């Protein structure tokens, strides 16, 4: 009982972390060249938010007049935060990958609430957008982010970024320095003496994978030696295969000033200092990392108590070496995880209802008879706006080498469609401005997938086999098409790069529109097959009729035994048919 009380107290103390995770709860995976099946680098992102609309952002390369400005907006509210100067040239971006195969993702960890800078301009999302527009490599993207927050202030709470290019992937964790207003004696203007942010970026070693899910994961790291580890004052040393660590020069000294850290510099842990671990951070965040690692490793059992919130001391490693090499399709599958195969399988307890639904509607925490409880927060979730796997391939020309496998809505019931980073446009049904979260649009990809997903939630364990059949049909088709499309595009590129771009644009657009059409057909099929809770008889997707053309009688599968037992436990003999003697 005492242990349970400690857990509940820990849960209550973690409400700030929970509020962040409930709004911006995302999951990222990072895969190095040596850990992928084909030598590509990969990173993933799921934009989990109750207000995020699924659309594929597109920004063409552009030249800008001197004096041009960029307006920065708050990603959560769309409130303008300020303006910064535009650079002379910006690179094309498709979603969160640019024309040079630089890609980025994020998860919000919150961290110490007092370190949010109320005067900062640079919102976390605009750091992502702008770094892609200005960087040709992952390292350049880290520098862009570091320089921008130093110059204009950081407007968000703690954030973990996944940053990759065709050769390497990095995890970068950043948090603001709070607000300390002072007045300049000469100008008499007020300014924030703590403007900027503290951060650490770690390169994932080749052959390894990493992940993060709304909690800071970087602990100890080697200090600057000018070669494998450098500070933000040593940007001139960004090049070199040996480089593994980049960090803000004051990441430790600032922690000392605030009283967060008193030990030796070599003992400093970014996560422990700036985002202290608690029950919520482990159970709702680190558990998602554990689950992904566990699917490709045999060494995760010792970390189960840590990930489930029972042992804060035995922290998981930042990265592991997988027992097999991974493909984009593997990462798509991991995005659909609800702790299958563990004691916490979301489809197995009473909360799954009568049809094994592995989702729980919000809020994440809830109260009953004066006690605080929670639902599991797993990787797959209903409130995903969009998700993707960014794949970067060094052996191909950049516009052809980069693919963003992009899906909208719930990752469990979406299809990830390949969009090359060198395309000239995005198909209308996937494009920005084609509907929004409050405006239904019949032919938008987002609303098409939402309609099917909501139907699947009604009869989950009946509907999902039919849905997964079409999901795999499409995603496997795209997987098999890709080498052929690559080869044709490269051949065109060698003689006519513009024509090659037209070719990959047409292919990506056709596959995007075909997917929406196919998903509408699936939705219609599911509606007919499972109408009113019955199951129509069908074979190979065609509904069966009797010899005279009348529909064959549907099947009535009833409820699972677990649900029957729950009814009996709740109602006793209320529904028991009496025995007639």
pLDDT of residue 25: 72
Alpha carbon dihedral 432, 437, 440, 441, in 10-degree steps, equals: 10
pLDDT tens digits for range 15-63: 444 444 444 579 999 999 999 999 999 999 999 999 999 999 999 999 9
* 536 SS3 class: coil
pLDDT at residue 362 is higher than 80 = yes
CB-based contact 244:228 (threshold 8 Å): yes
State the average pLDDT over residues 337-349. Answer: 95
pLDDT of residue 511: 98
Cα–Cα distances (Å) from 279 to 10, 13, 324, 348, in that order, read 6, 9, 31, 23
pTM: 0.94
Structure tokens given for 342? 């563990």
Rounded Cα–Cα distance for residues 40 and 32 (Å): 7
* 82 SS3 class: strand
pLDDT of residue 17: 40
Q: What residues does each domain of the chain span?
A: 2-213+278-347+362-374
pLDDT at residue 13 is higher than 50 = no
pLDDT of residue 312: 86
Rounded Cα–Cα distance for residues 168 and 32 (Å): 6
State the average pLDDT over residues 420-443. Answer: 95
Where helices occur in 444-560 by DSSP H, the ranges are: 445-458, 460-495, 497-529
pLDDT of residue 233: 97
Beta-carbon-side half-sphere exposure of residue 249 (alpha carbons within 13 Å) = 9
Rounded Cα–Cα distance for residues 456 and 479 (Å): 25
Interacting residues of 482 by C-beta distance below 8 A, sequence separation 6+: 403, 418
Interacting residues of 185 by C-beta distance below 8 A, sequence separation 6+: none
What are the two backbone dihedrals, phi and then psi, of residue 134, each rounded to the nearest 5 degrees? Answer: -120, -5
pLDDT at residue 230 is higher than 90 = yes
pLDDT tens digits for range 262-304: 999 999 999 999 999 999 999 999 999 999 999 999 999 999 9
CB-based contact 221:270 (threshold 8 Å): yes
pLDDT tens digits for range 484-514: 999 999 999 999 999 999 999 999 999 999 9
CB-based contact 426:58 (threshold 8 Å): yes
- pLDDT band for position 581 (50/70/90)? confident
pLDDT tens digits for range 391-420: 999 999 999 999 999 999 999 999 999 999
């Amino acid at each position: 009982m005492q242990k349970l009380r400690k857990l509940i107290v820990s849960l209550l103390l973690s409400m700030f972390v929970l509020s962040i995770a409930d709004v911006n709860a995302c999951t990222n995976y990072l895969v190095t060249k040596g850990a992928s099946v084909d030598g590509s680098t990969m990173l993933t992102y799921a934009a989990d938010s109750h207000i995020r609309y699924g659309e594929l952002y597109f920004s063409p390369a552009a030249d800008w007049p001197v004096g041009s400005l960029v307006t920065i907006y708050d990603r959560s509210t769309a409130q303008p935060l300020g303006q910064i100067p535009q650079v002379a040239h910006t690179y094309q971006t498709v979603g969160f990958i640019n024309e040079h195969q630089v890609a980025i993702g994020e998860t919000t960890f919150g961290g110490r609430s007092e370190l949010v800078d109320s005067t900062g301009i640079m919102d976390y999302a605009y750091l992502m957008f702008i770094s892609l527009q200005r960087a040709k490599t992952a390292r350049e993207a880290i520098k862009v982010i570091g320089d921008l927050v130093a110059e204009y202030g950081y407007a968000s709470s703690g954030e973990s970024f996944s940053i990759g290019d065709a050769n390497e992937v990095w995890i970068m964790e950043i948090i603001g320095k709070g607000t300390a207003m002072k007045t300049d004696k000469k100008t008499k203007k007020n300014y924030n003496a703590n403007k900027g942010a503290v951060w650490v970026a770690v390169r994932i070693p080749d052959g390894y994978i990493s992940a993060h899910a709304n909690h800071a994961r970087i602990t100890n790291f080697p200090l600057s030696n000018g070669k494998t580890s450098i500070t933000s004052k040593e940007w001139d040393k960004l090049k070199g295969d040996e480089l593994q660590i980049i960090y803000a020069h004051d990441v430790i000294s600032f922690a000392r000033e605030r009283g967060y850290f008193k030990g030796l510099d070599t003992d400093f842990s970014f996560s422990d200092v700036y985002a202290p671990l608690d029950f919520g951070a482990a159970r709702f965040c680190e558990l998602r990392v554990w689950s992904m690692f566990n699917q490709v490793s045999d060494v995760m059992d010792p970390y189960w108590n840590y990930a489930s919130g029972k042992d804060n001391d035995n922290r998981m490693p930042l990265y592991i070496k997988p027992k097999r090499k991974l493909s984009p399709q593997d990462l798509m599958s991991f995005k659909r995880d609800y702790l299958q195969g563990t004691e916490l399988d979301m489809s197995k307890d009473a909360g799954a209802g009568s049809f094994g639904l592995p989702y729980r509607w919000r809020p994440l925490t809830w109260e009953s008879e004066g006690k605080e409880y929670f639902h599991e927060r797993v990787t797959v979730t209903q409130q995903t706006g969009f998700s993707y796997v960014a794949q970067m391939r060094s052996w191909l020309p950049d516009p052809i080498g980069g693919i963003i496998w992009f899906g909208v809505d719930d990752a469990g019931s979406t299809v990830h469609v390949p969009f090359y980073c060198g395309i000239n446009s995005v198909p209308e049904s996937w494009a920005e401005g084609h509907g929004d979260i409050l405006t239904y649009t019949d032919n938008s990809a987002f609303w098409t997938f939402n309609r099917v997903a909501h139907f699947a939630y009604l009869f989950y364990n009946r509907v999902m086999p039919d849905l997964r059949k079409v999901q795999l049909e499409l995603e496997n088709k795209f997987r098999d098409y890709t080498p052929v499309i690559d080869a044709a595009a490269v051949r065109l590129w060698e003689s006519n790069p513009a024509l090659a771009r037209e070719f990959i644009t047409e292919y990506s657009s056709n596959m995007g529109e075909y997917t929406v059409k196919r998903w509408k057909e699936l939705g219609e099929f599911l509606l007919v097959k499972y109408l009113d809770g019955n199951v129509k008889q069908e074979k190979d997707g065609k509904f069966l009729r009797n010899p005279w053309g009348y529909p064959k009688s549907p099947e009535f599968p009833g409820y699972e035994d677990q649900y029957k037992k729950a009814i009996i436990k709740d109602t006793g003999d209320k529904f028991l048919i009496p025995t007639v003697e």
